[in-house]
Amino acid sequence: ILFQIFDAFKSRLHDSNRKVNQVALETMHKMIPLLKDNLSPVINMLIPAMVDNNLNSKNPGIYAAATNVIQALCQHLDNYLLLQPFCTKAQFLNGKAKQDMTEKLA
């Protein structure tokens, strides 16, 4: 059931409406401490949705929300779960997002 919920939720994480996108990121930030490692089945689906456009966003609210989500992931999930998806994102992103992901990996 977790997969079904987050499959529907992930499209909100990169919604074309900036307000919807930002609220989805802020909501994700609140859910991470509650779900912690229970997110492991969906983490490979969620990280690209959270990172791809949001860490390079020129909108300061979206960028801040995305950064907060990445920070919450690092605080509340086992680093082992994050290593592969973060490496993949750092390899294929560009700009500020690549720098942010590389710093998190380090």
Each of the 106 residues of the chain gets a pLDDT tens digit; together they read 889 999 999 999 989 999 999 999 999 999 999 999 999 999 999 999 999 889 999 999 999 999 999 999 999 999 999 999 999 999 999 999 999 999 999 8
Report how far apart the first and last C-alpha atoms of the chain are (Å, whole number).
34
The per-residue pLDDT for 106 is 85
State which residues form the domain around 16. 1-104
Q: How far, in Å, CA of 49 to CA of 8, rounded?
A: 11
57 to each of 38, 63, 66, 104, how far by Cα in Å?
A: 28, 6, 9, 18
Residue 5 and residue 78: Cα distance in Å, rounded? 22
Three-state DSSP state, 94: coil
The number of folded domains in the chain is 1
